[in-house]
Chains A and B, each alone.
Chain A
Amino acid sequence: MSSEPKEDVAKQDPREAVDRSCRGPVLFLAFSAVAWLLVYSLFAMLAGVKVHASGMMADSAWLAYGRIQPASQLALQFGFLVQLGLAVSAWILSHRGKTVLVDGGYLIFGGMLWNAGVTLGFLGILTGNASGLEGLQMPGKVLPLLFFGFVLVGLSLVQTNNRRTDEEMSPAQWFLFAATLWLPWVLAGSYLLIHFFNAKGVMANIVDWWFIQNFTKVYLTFVGLGTLFHFLPALSGRQLVGRGYAQFAFWIMLLFGSVGGVGPGAPVPAWLPALSTVSAVFYFFGVIAVWVSLKQTINGASAADTADSLAYNLMRLAALVFISMGVLNVFFAFPGPGSVAEFTTYGPAMKLLFNLGFVGLILVAALYHIFPSLAGIDFSPKMTRIQTTAIVLGVLGATLPSALGGLMSGDAVLGSGFYFASLGDVLLLVGSAILFLNFFGAILFAIKNCGCLAGICCRGEKKEANA
């Protein structure tokens, strides 16, 4: 059930038509995502420096640790992950459905709105207009902008999915379709509850936790899993085994990923932390089902095409991160271990590991695979190797020591974990800078030399020529 038809079906490869329709919008979203990753790693490193040198940059308010840290989180989650997720979803939905991307213009326009929203939110946090909530740090006013931007992109994705050639939908399509609809719902829901109906007191925090839980456990996880469910079978040239397991996981993770996320000691009615523990345990059933399905699918196979082996191995690593985090999450969801880990650097470290080590790694790997077919030219292999090593080591370096340090030291005390974490931040910065240059260079090279991207940048000239 490979989505890609055989080369020799017809002279005109349908994949080429699909790629042509994806080219502009997907590359636009992917490029802005890579740029936001660079912004994230720069500000994350700055934040780390502020912890070591307390007197540095003390006189400028916009460089306060409390501003650059949340701003960098916004750049990572909304700038990088969501946009690259949308780009990869667009590519997968159109390739799986064997149909051209419908209304790519919406994708570009929506992407511009989304970028404007993230930029305004980023600047808003730096200028001191943060909302004070943890999940929705950006000023409330930019949320409608983000919402409409996402809805425009989503319109295109949903229409593309509706025009698929096969009636059957594969697990990859369920997960990506659900993710595309879920984010605008929770975004609009939390905006209305917090900023329109003015949730009073801790209700604002409860809505915020609800948003965080839905954003990570449903939206980002589903984007990551949808991509895995497409690429792991596609790159290894095997059939996906265990559609039933995937279906089970889909509903379980949707139901239990959408409630919970309240810490064991939170100053709210006691049933909320209890509900979070229960839902985390049930969610783990879904994680196991995903693992069973993927394990049976891969079954030790390596990539069918050696050109894809890097992307394929990265995805396998990310799948490993997914299952290990699933086990850790269910363990620390219980009140006993949970209150040991609560308020320590374990929390942010796990968040970063999830964002970059699981979702980010999968999406970057997917980008490695789809970029050549879109731009007509591959990334520089040498730079790709360096940047991948730097990013993987950076993610591990920025997360594992501070997670361990957090667990060992307890809260309010910081061990040396922070110094290692800063080393990880530096590696991440190097990796994302090379990725950015690599991307940018490849695009420039493609435009100048081989005319592969003529369709994008010279459309106006072409039209003139036709006239």
Chain B
Amino acid sequence: MTIGLSFILGLLASSVSYFMLGLWWPVAVLLGLFAWLAFGLLDVKMDSTFTLLGGMLLVFCVSLSGMVLRANDQLSGLQYADTQDEAGTEFRYPVPLLGQARYGEKIYKASGCAACHTQQVTHEGVVLDVKAMGSEKNLAAVQEAASRFYKFTGRKASGGAVLGFVAGEWETIVTGANAADASKARNFLTRAGASVDVQVRFRGEDLMHNDLQNPEGRNWGRRRSVAQDYLFAEPPMLGSVRIGPDLANIGARYNRDMLMSILLDPKTLKKDSKMPQHGFLFKQAEKDEQRQPTREAEALVDYLLSLKSAHYPLPEAPVDQPFTSSLPKPVQIPAETADTIKPDEAGK
């Protein structure tokens, strides 16, 4: 190998060991030098199967430990996590498959549903919205801070936000900003003495539809899927092609009757559906009788209804939270309770 080529190889070796393996930089430089010397000056003999075999074994070990074993170290400790449903009831997540659902998972696997349906909700990133409120005293300073922020980030100053500040009312400063811009806005505004409220939003076509904030949303999930969701899947059928919709959260979207009619004839619900009919999951006792689902169909639908993986918030994958300032004011609740408690106390 020429000196130039082997130099590139050495460069690659050192950058891989520094950036990917995270080695101490002198070690990385030494490794790169070693690779350069070995291939360039000492000219490793590629004529011996022993050399080839030795190098290949080394690469195999690097590949296995770097990709598989390292991931295993990180994921093998996954346990239940605490989450809560819409009503606020806390429960342990994920819930193991119950009853027929486990058998339904086998049917899902055997019928190869994963050839057309994925079970992974993705997001394309996080955006932040910032609101601010100034008081009578610092209104001018807050306005000044907002316009400085617009100038600084090269945004068009939206007149409403700068001119329309009213003391004691929340005003949206920026929507859809990245983390750096949002933190700038927060710093500018808090230094001017304003109260600042930041909302974290997840953006992505898979997530819930919202006319203003996520107009392309497909309602496939409230958050992205993470490794925790698949703790009990045997194996997780993530899929790689979406000829049909994603099913990670299908249990939250459809009910039993709709799923049954889709399995029997998909075109009843969606005219241009590409999904084949699954007549083999239904039986017909007599000719004119309506087709009845078999045990397999019932189990499959049980399994599908149990799929609600992209639905509940987890620490590593929270669900969109609205502005805290737009929530109903918590001050009212103690006042009400105080009212209801008072007569009782009076009675005592």
Binding site for B on A (CB under 8 A): 50-51, 54-56, 58-61, 64-67, 69-70, 125, 128-134, 158, 161-162, 167-169, 174, 177-178, 181-182, 185, 189, 193-194, 199-208, 210, 214, 244-245, 247-248, 250-252, 254-255, 258-260, 263-269, 272, 275, 278, 282, 285, 289, 339, 342-345, 347-348, 410-412, 414, 418
Contact = CB atoms under 8 A, between A and B. Distances in A.
Given A58-B277, A177-B49, A275-B20, A258 B9 contact: no
Contacts of B53: 181
B236 A412 contact: no
Nearest to B279: A58
Contacts of B111: 61, 64, 66-67, 128
A282 B12 contact: yes
Contacts of A268: 71, 75, 227
Instruction: Please give me the 4 A-B residue pairs with the lowest Cβ-Cβ distance, nearest first.
Output: A66-B112, A265-B122, A128-B110, A258-B63
B233 interface: yes
Contacts of B237: 132
Contacts of A269: 71, 74-75, 227
22 contacts: A51-B276, A54-B267, A55-B277, A69-B112, A130-B110, A132-B234, A158-B49, A168-B47, A169-B46, A181-B56, A201-B227, A201-B236, A203-B75, A206-B75, A247-B46, A251-B55, A255-B62, A260-B67, A267-B226, A267-B229, A412-B218, A412-B246
Contact of B112 (A64, A201, A207, A339): A64
Given A182-B56, A200-B76, A206 B71 contact: yes
Interface residues of B, number: 81
A310 B62 CA distance: 41
A304 to B, nearest CB: 27
Given A64-B112, A269-B74, 17 more contacts: A58-B277, A59-B280, A66-B111, A169-B52, A205-B238, A206-B71, A206-B72, A210-B63, A244-B1, A244-B5, A255-B59, A265-B120, A265-B224, A267-B120, A268-B227, A275-B67, A345-B241
Contact of A254 (B59, B116, B232): B59
A348 B110 CA distance: 20
Contacts of B1: 244, 247-248
B255 interface: no
Interface of B: 1-2, 5-6, 8-9, 12, 16, 19-20, 39, 46-47, 49, 52-53, 55-56, 59-60, 62-64, 66-68, 71-72, 74-76, 78, 109-116, 118, 120, 122-124, 205, 218, 224-227, 229-246, 265-267, 273-281
Contacts of A200: 75-76, 78, 231
Contacts of B277: 54-55, 58
A268 B256 CA distance: 31
B68 A206 contact: yes
Nearest to A171: B46
A177 B2 CA distance: 24
Contacts of A347: 240-241
Nearest to A158: B49
Given A54-B273, A65-B115, A252-B12, A210 B244 contact: no
A167 B47 CA distance: 7
Contact of A214 (B63, B71, B235, B242): B63
Contacts of A129: 110
A161 B114 CA distance: 42
Contact of B242 (A128, A168, A264, A412): A412
Contacts of A342: 122
Given A177-B52, A247-B46, A267 B225 contact: yes
A54 B244 CA distance: 13
B276 A64 contact: yes
Contacts of B225: 267
Contacts of A132: 109, 114, 234-235, 237
Q: Which of B52, B74, B118 is most buried by chain A, counting CB atoms within 10 A of its CB?
A: B52
Contacts of B240: 134, 263, 343, 347-348
A185 B229 CA distance: 31
Contacts of B62: 255, 258-259
B236 A205 contact: yes
Contacts of A245: 5
A46 B313 CA distance: 42
Contact of A65 (B110, B116, B280): B116
Contacts of B266: 54
Given A54-B274, A206-B71, A412 B47 contact: no
Contacts of A158: 49
A407 B52 CA distance: 40
A223 to B, nearest CB: 15
A275 B53 CA distance: 25
Contacts of B232: 201
Nearest to A197: B72
A99 to B, nearest CB: 14
A410 B47 CA distance: 49
A94 to B, nearest CB: 15
B241 A343 contact: yes
A250 B5 CA distance: 13
B23 to A, nearest CB: 15
Contacts of B75: 200-203, 206, 268-269
Contact of B238 (A60, A66, A250, A266): A266
A311 B110 CA distance: 41
Contacts of B227: 201-202, 267-269
A82 B209 CA distance: 46
B77 to A, nearest CB: 11
Nearest to A201: B230
Contacts of A177: 49, 52
Contacts of B230: 201-202, 267
A62 to B, nearest CB: 9
A344 to B, nearest CB: 7
B57 to A, nearest CB: 9
Contact of B278 (A58, A70, A162): A58
Contacts of A289: 5
Nearest to A207: B68
A12 B68 CA distance: 53
A39 B132 CA distance: 66
Contacts of A255: 59, 62-63
A393 B6 CA distance: 41
A66 B6 CA distance: 47
Contacts of B281: 61
Contacts of B39: 247-248, 251
A206 B12 CA distance: 25
A36 B115 CA distance: 21
Nearest to A269: B74
A40 to B, nearest CB: 15
B68 A65 contact: no
Contacts of A343: 118, 240-242
A51 B46 CA distance: 50
B22 to A, nearest CB: 10
A44 to B, nearest CB: 12
A177 B118 CA distance: 37
A287 B285 CA distance: 61
A204 B236 contact: yes
B68 A344 contact: no
A270 to B, nearest CB: 10
